[in-house]
Amino acid sequence: MPISTPAPRPSVCIVGATGYAGQELLRLLGGHPLVGPVTTAPSREGVAAIPADAQWIFLATPAETSAELAGPLVARGQRVIDLSGAHRAGDPIKHRAAYGFEHPHPAALAQAVYGFDAPADVLQQAGLIANPGCYANALLSALVPLQAAGVLAPGAVVDATGISGVSGAGRNPTERTMYMYVAENLAPYRTGRAHQHLVEVEGRAGVHLLFVPLVAPLRRGMLVSGSADVAPWLARNPGAPLPNLTLAGDPLWLQVPAAPDVLAVAEQNTVQVHYFLDAAAGRVQFVSVIDNLLRGAASHAVYNLNLACGWPALTGLQVGRNHD
């Protein structure tokens, strides 16, 4: 019998590996059993500095940088997973409103697949995958299962508060991320309609989101809590409990019986979600927690890589803690 030759492992390049999410990517991909050589490249030197022979490029770069790089990389025949917000909005008008700059490659923006819960067959055909934002990941992890079960109607009003660790602001220091500002403080930012993740939550879940984000004196971690209007479903199902909920078979999504805290998912790839149906108010309350650098960035990007390559979803990932 002829001896079968193992399929070659795809080569990977991380652009922006010095940032918090980039460092987590480097650790996860460096230990991934099906990934080939992992290299890094600087973002400031443009496409020319990124190896042309790398089959997958991970952009852990600011949105403006990713917007400049992704389109030309795809045109060069490489596949891209963008961890920034540069390709999440879907069209140039929504992108400009959310991110404050004109997209230099609108064709790439339209081509990108939003990688929150995209089916594996769609990801396998994608040249450019837009990884979801951290707040969007936590919120959609609570909302999409309700939507899939028919509990959450299109256009429903969702009222939520999000609390993020300081690492969510990135590695470059600012006055609002310094110890003297953050310590013993809880500070709202980008309130009203200003937060850039609204466009992807509303676009994917089809809801109207009222959102207040807060930064807390935490190194990492994220908690979102809120409630969603489910009065139409309750009117059709008086006295019924919530149906069984799931997130498209995602093994890293966990529904828990009591409201979780941030430490429950610290340095883990999972998301934990708790629901409470308040029939008198016509609403479902939810609490969702993630590690903002893992489920909210790097590990979800690796999860998308696994599905896009046709590998088992948890390859290179785990359900428990990453640093036991």
21-75 tens-digit pLDDT: 999 999 999 999 999 999 999 988 899 999 999 999 999 999 999 999 999 999 9
115 and 193 part of one domain: no
DSSP 8-state symbol, 33: T
77: which residues sit within 8 A by CB, 6+ positions away?
A: none
Confidence of residue 216 (pLDDT cuts 50, 70, 90): very high
Q: Tell me the chain's radius of gyration from C-alpha atoms.
A: 20
pLDDT, the chain, mean: 94
| pLDDT tens readout for residues 154-184 | 999 999 999 999 987 777 777 777 777 888 8
5 part of a folded domain: no
Look at residue 211 and give its three-state secondary structure: strand
CATH of the domain at 223: 3.30.360.10
CATH of the domain at 305: 3.40.50.720
Q: How far apart are CA 293 and CA 220, in angstroms?
A: 7
141 and 286 part of one domain: yes
Confidence of residue 2 (pLDDT cuts 50, 70, 90): low
Q: What is the pTM of this model?
A: 0.94
| pLDDT tens readout for residues 219-264 | 999 999 999 999 999 999 999 999 999 999 999 999 999 999 999 9
19 and 162 part of one domain: no
181 and 123 part of one domain: no
38 and 167 part of one domain: no
What is the token pair recorded at 162?
Answer: 């999000």
Q: How far apart are CA 62 and CA 170, in angstroms?
A: 9
214 and 127 part of one domain: no
111 and 169 part of one domain: no
230 and 303 part of one domain: no
Listing DSSP states for 59-121 in one string gives E-S-HHHHHHHHHHHHHTT-EEEE-SSTTSSSSHHHHHHHHSS--S-HHHHHHPEE-SS--HH
**Residues belonging to the active site:** 134
Look at residue 213 and give its three-state secondary structure: strand
What is the token pair recorded at 218?
Answer: 């935490």
Question: Can you say how many angstroms the Cα of residue 137 is from the centroid of all Cα atoms in its chain?
Answer: 4
What is the token pair recorded at 169?
Answer: 């602001």
Confidence of residue 322 (pLDDT cuts 50, 70, 90): low
240 and 305 part of one domain: no
Please give the residue that has the higher pLDDT: either 137 or 7.
137
115 part of a folded domain: yes
Asked if 61 contacts 35 with a C-beta cutoff of 8 angstroms, the reply is: no
Domain that holds residue 162: 134-291
232 part of a folded domain: yes
- The total number of structural domains in the chain stands at 2
